[in-house]
Amino acid sequence: MDIRWKNSPENGKKGMLYALLAALVPAVVMLGFYPYFAKHRGDVGSMASVTDTAVSRDEDGYEISSEDTGYIYDSGYVLYEDLQKKKDSTLTESDIFLPGKDLASMDEVAGNACYSALKNVLINMENSYSNLSANVDYLAMDTTTGQVVSNVAEHRDVLKNYVDETKRTESQMTELASLYSGWICLDYSDTGDVTVSGSAGVSTKSFYREFQDLAHAGRFDRMINDFLEYEDVQEISVQYPVNMRVLYGFNTLSADAAWDTYVTMYNSYSSGIFPMLYALLLAGVAVAAVLFMRRETYAFHNHWLFHLPLEVSFAGLCMCISLYEGMLDMMISYLEGSWSNIDMLTGGTINFLCWVLVFGAWFVSASCIVPVGSLGPVAYVKKYSLIYRFFPFIKRQGKRFAAYVTDVDLTENMSRSIWKIVLVNGAVVAILCTMWFGGIFGVVIYSIFLFLWLRRYFTGIRKDYQAVLGWVRGMAAGDLNQALSRDVGIFEPLHEELSHIQQGFRQAVAEEVKSQKMKTELITNVSHDLKTPLTAIITYVDLLGQDNLTEEERKSYVDILARKSQRLKVLIEDLFEISKATTNNVTMNFNQVDIVNLLKQVRFEMEDKLNASGLDFRWSLPEEKVILTLDSQKTYRVFSNLLTNIVKYALPRSRVYIDLKCMDGGQVVVTMKNISAAELNFDPREITERFVRGDLSRNTEGSGLGLAIASSFVELQGGTLDIEIDGDLFKAIVVFQQKNP
């Protein structure tokens, strides 16, 4: 159904007036029924005299409770003791209550036991006396001496004149009635018998019966003998209070009786038509809300007050229903006059305004629910529910909080993780404890939720464990390339460590494969490099054995044999050197070496070879000395091998640049650059490996060990040898630290 909203100010004012009437009318109706409620509540007394009371009412007056009767009985002994000590301050407790017992004549143990028992009983009675004197006025008189003890100062004469029979008048009884809601006067005869000599506002029948029961049961005697039960002392009897008259005035009545009276009155009101009237008025207001919301002329739809969220509207309806007891209590307090400090007009106004607020809140809340009929439940919830609107956020934050609480890092101290779970569980238990009996249902729901959550949580842990276990078993089977990409929860630290182990295994296997490959290449290269000169030697030895050789041919063959033998010797020496270098079995003789002078020495000793190469060597060396801690022989071999490598592989008639520089930080850098005759189609990181040659076809002489030996010797001295390639430009860079340990 399409509804056209009317934005007219007239309609808006008219609509708000009707809304106000929807709250005012039921409030007036409810207030109008107040006299009827008061008339038909039943005869249960007045609330004005029920606040903080001590007795309940029967046909003769307020009934003194059994507890207060016991307090009055005990107070008689305490007051009697006070009067006797006032008469004679030298008297002791045993003199007063055990006059026939000479404790001094008893043996020490029995005497002490009797005295201790008497003291304990009197302490208990003084506690009862304190409970009574806090709520009750009293005055006790010794009828033989006229001495009195009392807790009253302002009205003492009124009580004293009544207790003194010679001064008692009718006007005093009237004055007592004006001072106290109830009072009673007890007479203790010279034989200890107790009678009620006067009372008003209290029921004496039940009180006197209970009082005599306590006296006949020997309450004081029994209490003392209970203390002496395990002592070797015969039962003793106690002196009862005598020749004393006590008046007790009850200012207020006890809370138990007040509550009983209030409950009776509450039940009287609630059993009448009040609940039905309250329900009918709420139903009427709800019907008015439906009718008004369906009339477009009232313009309710444009006001924010009638577009409250679903949760607020529902809370408003629940609040109005739950206010039943509070509103009933307010009405009872007003009708029974317990608002003594507020006049009737002000009290009635307060009641009226409270009813207007209740019915107004009910009208607004019901009006906000009405659109569910036109929109449908699903559309209404989507449009008006705060929970639905914020559910994604709540769900997301809930997951984050759950992840935070359940996050367990096995590499850290577990106390933090345990405390998080304990605090959350403690908060839930504390909330459940505030629900009293309803908390039992909360515990059941919480336990079910906890079981389901823990089952899901431990199932996830089991899946994570199975994933890690399967991954580890794969590694154990030799699959080192298998990856575990998913998060495995609490096993994630273990996953990271195992990943490092997997990577280490993978590198170790790769190194082993590389080592095996190098061993194969080593055997192949050594066989080839040894076989070539050895074959030549064998061939020329056979030729030398021929008889028809000329002297010139014989000399030529001997030269060739000498050259091949020398090459074989160099190859064997290189193999020996590289073997010692790679196994760190080289003896290093460090001393102070001028590396500039060392380079000049290498240049001088290789001058013939360098000149014969046809290469143009450009040297750039500093004039000053550069002193390093090096092994001069090994360093000489490094530069010799590098220059030999240049002579072998450099482009003929090209330039070769050799320079030495001292860098910041104490580094000394020697750089050798040349243009290669052959294409540089190898990995510069592999050229320093054993038996790797720049001439991949191996047409040139050499073992492929020169750069490997140079690299090993440099590293043994704490330096580095790097090879860089840029097109056909070959660059060897040797770096030494000027301050070597």
pLDDT digits (tens, 9 = 90+) for 218-246: 776 666 666 555 455 555 667 788 999 99
Cα distance between the two ends of the chain = 95
Do 353 and 225 share a structural domain? no
pLDDT of residue 303: 65
Point out the least confidently predicted range of 117-131, 348-362, 697-711: 697-711
Residue 563 resides in a domain: yes
Boundary of a domain, candidates 528, 560, 585: 585
| In 294-413, alpha helices (H) | 310-322, 324-335, 344-369, 372-375, 377-384, 386-406
Mean pLDDT within 623-627: 92
- Contacts for 177-181: CB closer than 8 Å, 24+ residues apart: 177/201, 179/155, 179/249, 180/137, 180/249, 180/250, 180/251, 181/49, 181/53, 181/62, 181/250, 181/251, 181/252, 181/253
Once rounded to an integer, what is the mean pLDDT over residues 437-464?
80
CATH number at residue 680: 3.30.565.10
User: For residue 35, what are the domain limits?
Assistant: 9-44+259-362
Over residues 660-670, the mean pLDDT reads 91
> In the chain, helix, strand, coil percent, each to 5?
60, 10, 25
Least confident span in 404-413, 450-459, 684-693:
684-693
Last residue within a domain, chosen from 585, 616, 644 = 585
Q: What percent of the chain has pLDDT over 70?
A: 77
pLDDT at 152 over 60: yes
Beta-bridged to residue 68, according to DSSP, are none
* Domains of the chain: total: 4
The DSSP code for 421 is: H
* β-bridge partners, 596: none
User: Is 669 a domain residue?
Assistant: yes
Is the residue at 193 inside a domain? yes
Contact 29, 284 (CB under 8 A): no
Q: According to the model, what pLDDT value does residue 686 have?
A: 65
Pull the structure tokens for residue 26.
């039921």
- Same domain for 318 and 287: yes
Which DSSP state fits 200?
A: E
Asked whether residue 613 is assigned to any structural domain, the reply reads yes
Please check whether residue 389 lies inside any domain of the structure.
no
Beta bridge partners of 245: 141, 187
Mean pLDDT of 82-86: 88
Q: How far is CA 148 from CA 92, 142, 452, in A?
A: 19, 6, 75
Share of the chain above pLDDT 90, in %: 12
Name the one residue in this structure whose structure tokens are 């100010």.
9
Name which residue leads in pLDDT, 99 or 498. 498
Q: Is residue 1 part of a domain?
A: no
The predicted structure's pLDDT at residue 528: 64
pLDDT at 269 over 70: yes
39 and 59 part of one domain: no
Residue 215 pLDDT grade (very low, low, confident, very high; cuts 50, 70, 90): confident
Q: At which of 327, 362, 397 does a domain end? A: 362
How many residues in the chain?
741
- Asked if residue 627 lies in contact with residue 635, where contact means CB atoms within 8 angstroms, the answer is no
* 454 lies in the same domain as 570: yes
Mark whether 494 and 620 lie in a shared domain. Answer: no
The reported pTM is 0.38
Residue 662 CA to residue 669 CA, distance in Å, equals 6
Residues 288 and 348 both lie in one domain: yes
Q: Is residue 378 part of a domain?
A: no
Q: Which residues, at least 6 apart from 139, have a Cβ–Cβ distance to it below 8 Å?
A: 148, 149, 150, 152, 156, 159, 160, 163, 246, 247
Give yes or no: residues 412 and 513 share one domain.
Answer: yes
Residues 199 and 89 in one domain: yes
Say yes or no: 451 and 565 in one domain.
Answer: yes
Give yes or no for residue 698 having a pLDDT over 50: no
Strands 61-64 and 202-203: parallel
**Are 154 and 100 found together in one domain?**
yes
Query: Whose CA is closest to 110, among 233, 223, 227?
Result: 233
CA dist., res. 20 & res. 303, Å (int): 14
Same domain, 566 and 628: no
In this prediction, residue 378 has a pLDDT band, given cuts at 50, 70 and 90, of: confident
Is 625 within a domain?
yes
Predicted confidence at residue 38, as pLDDT, reads 77
Higher-confidence position of 337 and 547: 547
Q: Check: CB of residue 56 under 8 Å from CB of residue 260.
A: yes
Per-residue H/E/C for 640-688: HHHHHHHHHHECCCCEEEEEEEECCCCEEEEEEEEEECCCCCCCCCCCC
DSSP secondary structure code for residue 65 in this structure: P
Q: Are residues 213 and 150 in the same domain?
A: yes
CA separation, residue 64 to residues 132, 210, 532 (Å): 12, 10, 133
pLDDT at 722: 92
| pLDDT at residue number 231 | 55
Mean pLDDT of 469-496: 82
Burial label, 164 (beta-carbon count in 10 A; 0-12, 13-18, 19+): middle
